């Protein structure tokens, strides 16, 4: 250790830090410098060495005090021993957060921090004794396995300003006095409940397959989960600021105008939570947007607030009317109704006026550097940065009047993004008609300029955005404060990524142009329109977003988790039908009677209230080719020449009498007999079937990409196009389905028994139904 560090280490130990904590502090250069400065200032105030109790509090000041302007004020209370405990210091720091504007009201501050309040050892002893008396029965029963944290919490509540260590020592002493020393039994960890054996353990693959097909009977409808209160979705958002307390947020910038603007804001909103979902109308929404929609609308709903749908329509070259409608459609499909639909373009005049004011305050200027010259982070300073305010005002007006060509002039702000980008552009010239404002403007504001000011104009309380915008937070605050307008709080959260897919607009467009997928709503994609077409219920997507919650880090999930949420919903809502994808004809030689009959089939087997439907049953039925085998493997439980099988819902067992083949040797027809079910001929398995069916097309979708991260060059060196799964779509044109689905409409959902969940596709015509497989009945473990 360098000699200088050794002396600093000794200094830190001398004020009460243990050696390990002192060494850790030294590793953080900024913290070490702050703590040294604090110690030096405190020693001057004290006129000598510091007591270790004061030194420990200084460490907390160094790590927790954000407003350094109040450091000297606080040190006076520490050195003067008016604030002597960590609870008092915490109260002082909380007071600073809630009261950011100077000067500090001393009397209110001291009352908030317990200055002058003395907690004697006798007070602590009495407080602990009263709480232990309350918990005496539980302590005697569970002894040292009792939750001591509850006792500590109750004592702390009674004695707000007492030292935590003193409370703990007294609790330990009184518990020891009550229970005596720990016994060997007290030292043992409480025994965990024995795990119940997993169902199906020890069964053959065939048995597990049959058990899975019957699993729905054990899944009562009342077990469906609800996330209406959105608590699970909130995740780390539970620590967000309360309305009107923006200034308590770490990193929020307080100016002399902050509290007055906050007062005006609260008068306007009445303390209401206000969020917004601000998509760019230049593409289709995807699964990541579903999280943003749920978070913005869900957070507002959970706090009885409102959420705007605001189109960030500042780039007219890429915006199309179909994208505006598509976004609105998806928001409503997910079950959310915006408080108001707005556009950034609604505020073009206000934004222009703000830009003029920014120039007048010498915080923006007209620049003539080319776009290429401004790219990157090591760009030279603009030679026009210090041009006179009057000149920039005149040139900005000329920009507005169309006197410059595109690229000849921009308006730049005199600030720096956290990522190091100098003087970001606020306005650029585009001679492109706007979808909403037409030809009224030829200058358009950028995202960096527009975003925060529109939030301010709409009095947004929580500006929620993904982590890639964290580098814009300082410029967000800078711009609002530079114009002396209300400043919302920007909160960032981790974006949602999904394995085995791409969501980039450019990359999806390439998939379409290459003929790999049909369009933006191809069911193999993870755009919201594609998921809807595939049959995903909006409730399932919302529940998925709630399950994964809100974290501050980037998160990537496997599609299987989303599919599980889909099954949870469809198991309780999708009517059952029977379909045969690869049929074998079966002629029943001993069919009872000369006419067919009708069989009652439950719509939702585990929910009788959902009723039944009828399907025909005649002497000719069709079964799945995989449900018959002439040469079965060991453990095969379905139909063979030597083994009968049950027909679901019919009450009969089926026995093969003859196998008919075509010229190539393939089985085309089975001749069979029926036998009524009883205890003697109970079959090992039941299979589905259809009679007098409807011919339909069934599309089975698999993952579009072979690798988890198709965009990762280390996984897919040849690029994402080379990773496409050529077998991701299997279109079965001659499938058969029972007549219960007749008349089904586009997006109607069914469970095809023993196969999976299916949805009517938009390609359906009056003469032929087309079904998309939404998800299989169970997750394919081999896919992970």
Which residues, 6 or more positions from 422, have their beta carbon under 8 angstroms from its beta carbon? 377, 379, 381, 416
d(CA 94, CA 88): 10
For residue 43, give the H/E element and its range: helix 29-46
Burial of 736 (0-12, 13-18, 19+ CB in 10 A): buried
Instruction: Identify any residues that bridge with 659 across adjacent strands, giving them in sequence order.
Output: 670
Task: Please say whether the beta carbons of 708 and 715 come within 8 A.
Answer: yes
Do you know the residue count of the chain?
784
Q: What DSSP string runs through 549-594?
A: ---SS-EEE-HHHHHHHHHHHHTTTSPEE-EESSEEEEEETT-SSS
For residue 540, give the H/E element and its range: helix 538-548
- The strand pair at 306-311 and 340-343 is best described as parallel
d(CA 7, CA 84): 27
Catalytic residue list = 280, 495, 505
d(CA 32, CA 59): 10
Q: Count of CB atoms within 10 A of residue 394's CB?
A: 13
8-state DSSP, 473:
H
d(CA 694, CA 134): 72
- The strand pair at 686-687 and 462-466 is best described as unpaired
d(CA 503, CA 283): 11
Nearest to 396 by CA among 371, 363, 436, 434: 363
Task: Please say whether the beta carbons of 702 and 727 come within 8 A.
Answer: yes
- ω into residue 103 within 30 of 0, thus cis? yes
d(CA 244, CA 410): 36
656 phi-psi bin (left φ>0, alpha ψ -120 to 50, beta other): beta
d(CA 387, CA 391): 7
8-state DSSP, 495:
P
For residue 653, give the H/E element and its range: strand 652-661
d(CA 747, CA 740): 16
Task: Please say whether the beta carbons of 308 and 563 come within 8 A.
Answer: no
Helices 29-46 and 71-79 sit at what angle, rounded to 10 degrees?
50
For residue 602, give the H/E element and its range: strand 597-602
d(CA 87, CA 171): 18
Distances (CA, A) of 544 to 54, 442, 562: 49, 43, 6
d(CA 138, CA 608): 46
d(CA 651, CA 345): 67
Task: Please say whether the beta carbons of 430 and 439 come within 8 A.
Answer: no
Q: What DSSP string runs through 255-297?
A: -TTHHHHHHHHHHHHTT--EEEE---SSS--BHHHHHHHHHHH
């Amino acid at each position: 250790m360098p000699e200088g560090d050794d002396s600093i280490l000794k200094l830190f130990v001398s004020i009460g830090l243990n050696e390990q904590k002192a060494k850790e502090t030294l590793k953080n250069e900024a913290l070490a410098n702050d703590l040294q400065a604090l110690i030096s200032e405190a020693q001057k105030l004290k006129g000598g060495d510091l007591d270790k109790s004061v030194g420990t509090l200084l460490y907390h000041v160094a790590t927790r005090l954000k407003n350094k302007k109040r450091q000297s004020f606080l040190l006076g209370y520490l050195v003067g021993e008016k604030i002597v405990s960590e609870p008092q210091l915490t109260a002082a720091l909380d007071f600073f957060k809630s009261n950011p504007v100077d000067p500090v009201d001393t009397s209110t501050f001291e009352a908030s921090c317990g200055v002058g309040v003395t907690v004697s050892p006798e007070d602590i002893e009495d407080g602990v004794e009263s709480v232990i008396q309350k918990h005496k029965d539980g302590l005697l029963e569970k002894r040292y396995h009792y939750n001591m944290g509850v006792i500590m919490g109750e004592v702390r509540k009674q004695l707000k300003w007492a030292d935590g260590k003193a409370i703990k020592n007294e609790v330990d002493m009184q518990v020891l006095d009550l229970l005596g020393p720990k016994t060997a039994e007290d030292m043992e960890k409480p025994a965990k409940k024995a795990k119940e054996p997993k169902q199906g353990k020890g069964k053959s693959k065939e048995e597990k397959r049959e058990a899975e097909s019957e699993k729905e009977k054990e899944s009562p409808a009342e077990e469906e989960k609800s996330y209406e209160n959105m608590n699970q979705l909130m995740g780390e958002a539970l620590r967000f600021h309360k309305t009107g307390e923006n200034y308590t947020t770490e990193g929020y910038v307080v100016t002399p105008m902050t509290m007055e603007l906050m007062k005006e804001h609260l008068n306007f909103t009445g303390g209401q939570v206000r969020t917004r979902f601000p998509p760019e109308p230049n593409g289709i929404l995807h699964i990541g947007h579903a999280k943003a929609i749920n978070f913005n609308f869900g957070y507002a709903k959970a706090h009885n607030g409102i959420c705007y749908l605001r189109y960030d329509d500042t780039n007219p070259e890429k915006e199309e009317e179909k994208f505006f409608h598509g976004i609105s459609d998806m928001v409503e499909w997910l079950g959310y109704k915006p408080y108001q639909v707005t556009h950034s373009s609604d505020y073009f005049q206000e934004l222009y006026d703000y830009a003029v004011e920014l120039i007048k305050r010498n915080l923006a200027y007209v620049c003539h550097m080319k776009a290429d010259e401004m790219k990157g982070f090591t760009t030279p300073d603009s030679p026009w940065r210090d041009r006179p305010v009057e000149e920039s005002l005149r040139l900005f007006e000329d920009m507005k009047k169309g006197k410059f060509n595109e690229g000849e002039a921009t308006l730049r702000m005199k600030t720096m993004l956290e990522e190091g980008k100098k003087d970001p552009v606020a306005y650029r010239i585009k001679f492109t008609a706007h979808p909403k404002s037409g030809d009224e403007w030829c200058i358009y504001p950028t995202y960096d300029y527009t975003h925060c000011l529109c939030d301010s104009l709409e009095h947004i309380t929580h500006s929620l955005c993904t982590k890639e915008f964290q580098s814009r937070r300082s410029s967000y605050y800078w711009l609002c404060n530079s114009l002396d307008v209300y400043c919302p709080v920007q909160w960032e959260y981790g974006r949602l990524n999904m394995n085995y897919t791409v969501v980039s607009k450019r990359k999806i467009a390439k998939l379409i142009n290459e003929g790999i997928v049909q369009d933006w709503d191809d069911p193999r994609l993870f755009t919201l329109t594609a998921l809807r077409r595939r049959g995903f219920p909006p409730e399932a997507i919302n529940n998925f977003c709630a399950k994964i919650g809100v974290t501050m880090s980037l998160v990537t999930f496997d599609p299987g988790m989303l599919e599980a949420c889909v099954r949870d919903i469809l198991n309780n809502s999708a009517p059952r039908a029977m379909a045969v994808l690869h049929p074998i004809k079966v002629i029943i030689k001993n069919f009872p009677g000369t006419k067919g009959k009708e069989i009652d089939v439950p719509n939702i087997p585990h929910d009788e209230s959902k009723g039944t439907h009828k399907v025909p049953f005649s002497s000719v039925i069709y079964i799945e080719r995989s449900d018959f085998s002439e040469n079965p493997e060991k453990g095969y439980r379905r139909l063979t020449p030597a083994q009968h099988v049950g027909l679901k819902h019919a009450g009969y067992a089926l026995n093969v009498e003859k196998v008919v083949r075509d010229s190539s040797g393939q089985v085309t027809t089975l001749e069979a007999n029926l036998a009524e079910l009883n205890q003697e001929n109970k079959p090992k398995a039941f299979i589905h079937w259809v009679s007098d069916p409807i011919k339909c097309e069934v599309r089975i979708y698999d993952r579009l990409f072979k690798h988890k991260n198709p965009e990762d060059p280390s996984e897919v060196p040849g690029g994402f196009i080379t990773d496409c799964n050529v077998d991701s779509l299997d279109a079965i044109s001659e499938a058969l389905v029972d007549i219960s689905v007749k008349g089904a409409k586009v997006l109607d959902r069914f469970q095809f028994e023993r196969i999976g969940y299916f949805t009517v596709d938009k390609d359906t015509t009056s003469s032929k139904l087309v079904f998309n497989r939404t998800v299989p009945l169970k997750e394919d473990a081999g896919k992970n």
